[in-house]
Amino acid sequence: MEREIVVDVQNVSKFYDNPSGKVRVLDHVNMRIGKGEFAAIVGDSGSGKTTLLNLVGGMDSVSEGTIHIAGEAISDFDDRKRTLFRRRQVGFIFQDYNLIHELTVYENIILPLQLKKKKIVEDTIDEYLEMLRLKEKKNVFPMQLSGGEQQRTAVLRALLCEPDIILADEPTGNLDSVNTQVVVKLLRHFSTSMNRAILFVTHNRELTKCCDRVITVKDGRIIGG
Amino acid sequence: MISVLWKIPYRKAVREKGRSICIIAAVFFTTVLFVAFFSALFFVMDAAEEMMRTTSPVLADAILPVSEDEYERISQNKHVSETGVGTRFAIMQEPSGAGGIQLFAFDEKMAQWMRYYPIKGRTPKGDNEIVVSDQYLKECGLVFETGRTGGGQIVSGPDGTCAQEVQESDNDIKIQTELTYYVEDEAYTDTFTIVGIYEMSGQPLHVVWTSDAFCQKICRQLVKQGKNPEDVTYRMMGVMFSSRANIRRLVSMLTAEEGIELEEGGFFINDFSLFEGMGIGTWAAFLLLLSLIMMVGYLFISNIFQIFAIKEVRFYGKLSTGGVTRKEIKRIVRRGNALLFYIAVIPALAAGYFISAAVLPGILNVGTTLQIQRSGNVMIFVMALTFSYLTVKISGGKTVKMAKNASPIERKKHIGSFGKVRTAQDKDCLTKFALRSFLSDKTKVMKVCVSISLSFMLASAFYTVAEGFDVEEYVKGELDADYIFAKEPVFTNPNLNPVSYARVSEEEMMRYRTLPGIKEEGGAAMSLVNIRLPEEGVERFSRINGEYDKDEFGSSGSSGEAWVHLYGLDEMMLQKLVPIRGEIDWERFSSGGYVLLNPIYGDDNIENEACYNPGDKVTVHFRSGEEGEYTVMAIVDRMPLSLAFPQISLEGDMYLPMKTWRKMEKRTDYYLYAFDVEAGFHEAWDTALESVADALKETGSGRTAYRSARTEAGRVREYTDGLKLAGFVLSGVLLVMGMLNFVNCTVSGIYDRSKELAVLHSMGVEEWEIRKNLIKEGMLYMAGGIVPGMVLAFFGVYFLIEKVLAQPYITYHSYTFIYVLYAVLGCVAAVLAPWGVRRRMELKEIG
């Protein structure tokens, strides 16, 4: 079935200036991700996976090429527009969770909803908390959670505001095998049930077995997927 | 410690220049503050001690009565650095008849210490050469005028014993005079040559200084008469100790070592130490101020330490992983802190002193009669160094603790505990983020808020007190006449000798009577007279002040003799006396035959009991030898302080009309004279007064000083201005410290949460929203500091003025501008600090 394209990366390059000269991190990359697609980006360290993710998520600007997300050319956005874009259309999950330590689990989760001025439906949130075995930890601060619990909170934070795309950078990098499986299944489930594109970066090739597509990046180029 | 570890603090100091510079600056600033505080303290103390020294009747450390043998032994004692000696061998009467003059032979050192060294002429060397006081000359009817040339004029004193011949040269005095003196009740008359004049200015004794040769001559006469000169003469010794640490203790040690017994009251100790005179209140104020400065320094330094400690926790965790013990980590941190401390403190001590020496005397001299100058007291540096070191040590305590407790396993974020939290669905999470960040480290918050609160309270208190001070009202209460004249010791020496003090003459007052606009005038004279207290009076005195020593004054049956101050007052002065018991009929009182009396002086005399009651008769033995009996008309309150003689009689002072007093004492001098002047003439008086006083000074009459409403008001205004300045400086320092701490907290908070702020940014929170949130935090700091400060100041200052000070000349007003000023400053800081930090972070990223 033809999926509606939600991420369209065309001929994108990214390079950084260095005292020793320009460093090309991404080199004429082309990629398309459809709605509801669960894709993994794999590659060795320094291959440009995270850079690609950051560009797609509007965290950084392209040096060359264009990126369209849900029809909007984010590569032309200035910093402010990219920020608003991230607020409206992107959910991020980081390797080291990046929860706000001054906010409780519940508050971390509803923060993006408040930023988007979306209605907070308590029952829905409680349902998800129950599903992720975080109900008892609702009013607890991140410092008091285990790694797995923190990552589940981060996942929920990214998903609940129903962004167009969800980007996860090594979401299981700091988790044990059990929690890894839990998180990946969760992402898969949300991708299917919410029909959202999920793009995640991983070293772990085992995790790619449940993905719809595996994109391999090497030396700044996409060589597979 | 392993040597590699030793290198860490030094390399960190060099590599982390930003951190090192911040800490050095903080220590530098705190040390300068301490130096300024201790400089002010020691400048004032040195000036006060110098003033005490110069106004002291005697300059030696101690004056002791000794025999010849004792003198020799004490001179050899290891505690003694210098000695002088004087021998009294005869007495004579003052030309005015008011009191006695003692004939002394001094060595030059003793004469200087006792203040008998001549200001004109020279010391006595030949047999019959003497040095006399300017007061003696005046009482002889002689006035020594500088620059007078030509022949002489023979003038006789009251008893016909003085003659004068004035020489040409200023400094060469040679006045022939006859003196009748008494050696053990036997009268002798000799012709002497006055070769020097000393200034009478509060010395304990009125003295004629003879040559040692003359004293020896008298002693030989005594020996010929079969008498022992040691029994007739009185030798006293002046002593200067090698150390000035505790004169009383040194005198005790000296007398114990030399086996000398001193009778109570028979010796004099010149203890200039200010510390002995400091009461609990003064000590409390001193310690409070010192604590304030330490707290200010602590606020400043500890925050800077903590900013960097948070970042270094991982580093110390790594050391711990590598096997470095907690004790070793503690030593590394302490050494690093100490290194930066010593780099900062040496230049700070120097800079602090130079700034203090340049600025402080000018500020401190406002509103004080002390002549404050810079002093190089080494204790300034010792104390400043000690307290600065203590402050740094205390400030670094928490950092040391954090470092040594850094876990080798986890990267623990030091953000404090949150306690219980209730999650409310409808509250903005960003606002909660700001609030909880603000509350995350209560200690930091307290430091900022307390500093700002204190600053506001101090500024409000000082300004309100200074502005609410009614100078005119205060001066009205201080001075009881527009212009009050006396010799300077009457105003400045609380221990003025009631017999031999410098007096003001009618001739001197003539000059002032020529000034325009006099509304009223009058003088006060005083003499020490002998009365006999009745048994009831003795009983009352004993009840109030303890056992009355009848034996001291000689006993006559059951009553005791007393020496009391007897005032002779002109009408203007008499009108100042307020009756407590009995009524004053001024017409009858002026006719003579009546006396007014004070109550017995004592804190427990709440019933105002006196040695006599109205209607009682009292017999007065005047110094002139006259005797009079008077009826006590009324018991009156004390003479107003500004007009009273510096000393009082515990038995109660007595008051006669001036006419009666002069008739009985056969004197026409005053200790004080006062004028009330019509409004509109004060300026003319003030202008004229300085030139008149200078002219009087030149004639050798000594310094005539005056107090006026204008000069007092000027002095008080200077004082209140100084108070305002001091208040603003202090509160300004606290405010700067509070603001700097706030900036530190903001900087550390933002950098510490830079990752979280980046996460928010990644979630789509715009930069202006982040800054708005940070400003909210800033506003919480400012509100936490300014609001309690305002509330406490509002009630506290009112309480201070109305209940604590409770003086009629200080009234409470509320000054809104201080509140507005602080509110504006707070808002500006709350906005600018986070904005500036974020901007700087942005620029760094762009860079």
Please tell me the predicted confidence (pLDDT) of residue B572.
94
- CB-CB: which of A85, A87, A107 is closest to B423? A107
Please tell me the predicted confidence (pLDDT) of residue A64.
92
For residue B794, how many other CB atoms are within 10 A of its CB? 14
Please tell me the predicted confidence (pLDDT) of residue B452.
85
Calculate the CA B108 to chain-centre distance. Answer: 32
Task: Label the pairing between strands A165-169 and A197-202.
Answer: parallel
In 3-state terms chain B splits into helix, strand, coil percentages (rounded to 5) of: 50, 15, 30
Same domain for B652 and B539? yes
Same domain for B482 and B467? no
**Residues B689, B475: Cα–Cα separation, whole Å:** 19
Which amino acid, B89? Answer: F
Task: Select from B720, B718, B716 the least CA-distant residue to B728.
Answer: B720
Please tell me the predicted confidence (pLDDT) of residue B554.
39
Q: Which of A48-57, B615-624, B716-725, B809-818 has the lowest mean pLDDT?
A: B716-725
Task: Select from B524, B532, B467 the least CA-distant residue to B490.
Answer: B524
**Residues B86, B103: Cα–Cα separation, whole Å:** 10
Highest mean pLDDT among A175-184, B40-49, B275-284, B416-425: A175-184
If pLDDT is split at 50, 70 and 90, which confidence band does A58 have? confident
**Residues B125, B130: Cα–Cα separation, whole Å:** 8
Residue B16 backbone dihedrals phi, psi, to 5 degrees: -95, 75
Q: pLDDT of A114-140, one tens digit each?
A: 888 888 888 989 988 998 889 999 989
B174: pLDDT strictly greater than 60: yes
Mean pLDDT over each residue of chain B, to the nearest integer: 80
Same domain for B543 and B653? yes
Which residues on neighbouring strands pair with residue B133, listed in sequence order? B198
Q: Which of B14-18, B223-227, B611-615 has the lowest mean pLDDT?
A: B14-18
In 3-state terms chain A splits into helix, strand, coil percentages (rounded to 5) of: 40, 30, 30
* Residue B105 buriedness (CB in 10 A; 0-12 / 13-18 / 19+): buried
**Residues B662, B353: Cα–Cα separation, whole Å:** 58
Render B185-231 in DSSP notation, one character per residue.
Answer: TEEEEEEEEEEEEE--SS-SS-EEEE-HHHHHHHHHHHHHTT--HHH
B167: pLDDT strictly greater than 60: no
Percent with pLDDT over 90 in chain B: 16
Do residue A83 and residue B766 have CB atoms under 8 angstroms apart?
A: yes
Q: pLDDT of A200-213, one tens digit each?
A: 898 888 888 888 89
**Residues A29, A14: Cα–Cα separation, whole Å:** 9
Which amino acid, B511? Answer: R
Exposure string for B801-836, b = 16+ CB within 10 A, e = fewer: beeeeebebbeeeeeeebbeebbebbeebbbebbee
B413: pLDDT strictly greater than 50: no
Q: pLDDT of B691-744, one tens digit each?
A: 765 655 555 445 678 888 877 888 788 778 877 777 787 788 778 777 877 887
Lookup: tokens for B416: 């404090």
In chain B, the N- to C-terminal Cα span, in Å, equals 42
Please tell me the predicted confidence (pLDDT) of residue B54.
66
Q: Output the CA torsion A167→A172→A174→A175 (10° steps).
A: 140
What average pLDDT does this structure show over B388-412? 71
Do residue B425 and residue A110 have CB atoms under 8 angstroms apart?
A: yes
Task: Label the pairing between strands B80-93 and B234-241.
Answer: antiparallel
Diameter of chain B measured on Cα atoms: 118
Nearest-5° angle of CA A195, CA A201, CA A205?
Answer: 105
pTM of the model: 0.61
Please tell me the predicted confidence (pLDDT) of residue B143.
54
Please tell me the predicted confidence (pLDDT) of residue B261.
78
Question: Are B783 and B775 contacting, i.e. CB atoms less than 8 angstroms apart?
Answer: no
B206: pLDDT strictly greater than 80: yes
- CB-CB: which of A84, A139, A141 is closest to B764? A84
Residue A152 backbone dihedrals phi, psi, to 5 degrees: -65, -40
Same domain for B561 and B578? yes
Model ipTM value: 0.72
Query: CA of A94: how far to CAs of A99, A154, A164, B624, in Å?
Result: 9, 8, 17, 108
Render B576-640 in DSSP notation, one character per residue.
Answer: T--EEES---HHHHHTSSEEEEPPPP-TT-TT---SS-TT-EEEEE-TTS-EEEEEEEEEEPPPP
CA distance, residue A146 to nearest chain B CA (Å): 13
CATH class assigned to A5-224: alpha beta
Question: Are B92 and B103 contacting, i.e. CB atoms less than 8 angstroms apart?
Answer: yes
**Residues B668, B570: Cα–Cα separation, whole Å:** 12
Question: What residues in A contact B432, CB-CB < 8 Å?
Answer: 102-103, 107
Which residues on neighbouring strands pair with residue A214, listed in sequence order? A40
Residue B538 lies in a domain: yes
Question: What residues in B contact A143, CB-CB < 8 Å?
Answer: 413, 415
Q: Which of B210-214, B277-281, B449-453, B591-595 has the lowest mean pLDDT?
A: B277-281
Please tell me the predicted confidence (pLDDT) of residue B634.
95
Question: Are A52 and A60 contacting, i.e. CB atoms less than 8 angstroms apart?
Answer: no
B430: pLDDT strictly greater than 50: yes
**Residues B574, B567: Cα–Cα separation, whole Å:** 10
Please tell me the predicted confidence (pLDDT) of residue B616.
92
Please tell me the predicted confidence (pLDDT) of residue B88.
92
Question: Are A217 and A52 contacting, i.e. CB atoms less than 8 angstroms apart?
Answer: yes
**Sign of the four-CA dihedral A117, A120, A124, A127:** positive
Which amino acid, A126? Answer: D
CA distance, residue B757 to nearest chain A CA (Å): 9
Please tell me the predicted confidence (pLDDT) of residue A8.
94
**Residues B843, B847: Cα–Cα separation, whole Å:** 6
Same domain for B656 and B609? yes
Do residue B764 and residue A103 have CB atoms under 8 angstroms apart?
A: no
- CB-CB: which of A86, A101, A107 is closest to B763? A86
> Domain boundary at B652, B683, B708, which?
B708
The H or E element spanning position B582 is none
Residue B294 lies in a domain: yes
Using a CB–CB cut-off of 8 Å, the residues of A that contact B are 57, 59, 80, 83-88, 90, 92, 94, 98-104, 106-107, 110-112, 114-116, 120, 122, 138-139, 141, 143
Same domain for B627 and B735? no
Same domain for B453 and B514? no
Nearest-5° angle of CA B234, CA B239, CA B245?
Answer: 145
CA distance, residue B317 to nearest chain A CA (Å): 18
Calculate the CA B329 to chain-centre distance. Answer: 49
B834: pLDDT strictly greater than 70: yes
What average pLDDT does this structure show over B23-45? 84
B277: pLDDT strictly greater than 50: yes
Task: Label the pairing between strands B129-133 and B175-183.
Answer: unpaired
Which amino acid, B168? Answer: E
B84: pLDDT strictly greater than 90: yes
**Residues A115, A111: Cα–Cα separation, whole Å:** 6
Q: pLDDT of B482-536, one tens digit each?
A: 999 998 878 877 777 777 777 888 888 888 888 889 999 999 999 988 888 888 8
Same domain for B378 and B462? no
Same domain for B49 and B102? no
Question: Are A49 and A57 contacting, i.e. CB atoms less than 8 angstroms apart?
Answer: no
The structure tokens 């509330």 sit at: B791
Query: CA of A29: how far to CAs of A15, A218, B97, in Å?
Result: 12, 11, 122
Domain tally for chain B? 4
Using a CB–CB cut-off of 8 Å, the residues of B that contact A are 413, 415, 418, 421-423, 425, 428-430, 432-433, 436-437, 440, 755-756, 759-767
B70: pLDDT strictly greater than 50: yes
**Sign of the four-CA dihedral B757, B758, B763, B766:** positive
- CB-CB: which of B428, B433, B767 is closest to A102? B433
Which residues on neighbouring strands pair with residue A41, listed in sequence order? A201, A215
B844: pLDDT strictly greater than 70: no
Please tell me the predicted confidence (pLDDT) of residue B558.
40
Please tell me the predicted confidence (pLDDT) of residue B254.
85
**Residues A14, A24: Cα–Cα separation, whole Å:** 6
**Residues B652, B494: Cα–Cα separation, whole Å:** 17
Please tell me the predicted confidence (pLDDT) of residue A161.
82
Question: What residues in B contact A103, CB-CB < 8 Å?
Answer: 429, 432-433, 436
* Residue B395 buriedness (CB in 10 A; 0-12 / 13-18 / 19+): buried
The H or E element spanning position B376 is none
Helices (H) and strands (E) in chain A, counts: 6, 10
Do residue B767 and residue A83 have CB atoms under 8 angstroms apart?
A: yes
- CB-CB: which of A80, A103, A120 is closest to B425? A120
Q: Which residue of B has its CA nearest to A139?
A: B423
Same domain for B579 and B605? yes
Residue B831 backbone dihedrals phi, psi, to 5 degrees: -85, -50
Please tell me the predicted confidence (pLDDT) of residue B569.
95
Same domain for B698 and B806? no
Do residue B437 and residue A112 have CB atoms under 8 angstroms apart?
A: no
- The residue count of chain A comes to 225
Enclosing domain of residue B497? 476-708
Do residue B429 and residue A141 have CB atoms under 8 angstroms apart?
A: no
Please tell me the predicted confidence (pLDDT) of residue B702.
56
Same domain for B797 and B809? yes
Lookup: tokens for B140: 């002889």
B672: pLDDT strictly greater than 90: yes
Domain locations in chain A as residue ranges: 5-224
Which amino acid, B7? Answer: K
Say whether A54 sits in a helix, a strand or coil.
Answer: helix
The H or E element spanning position B83 is strand B80-93
**Residues B765, B786: Cα–Cα separation, whole Å:** 30
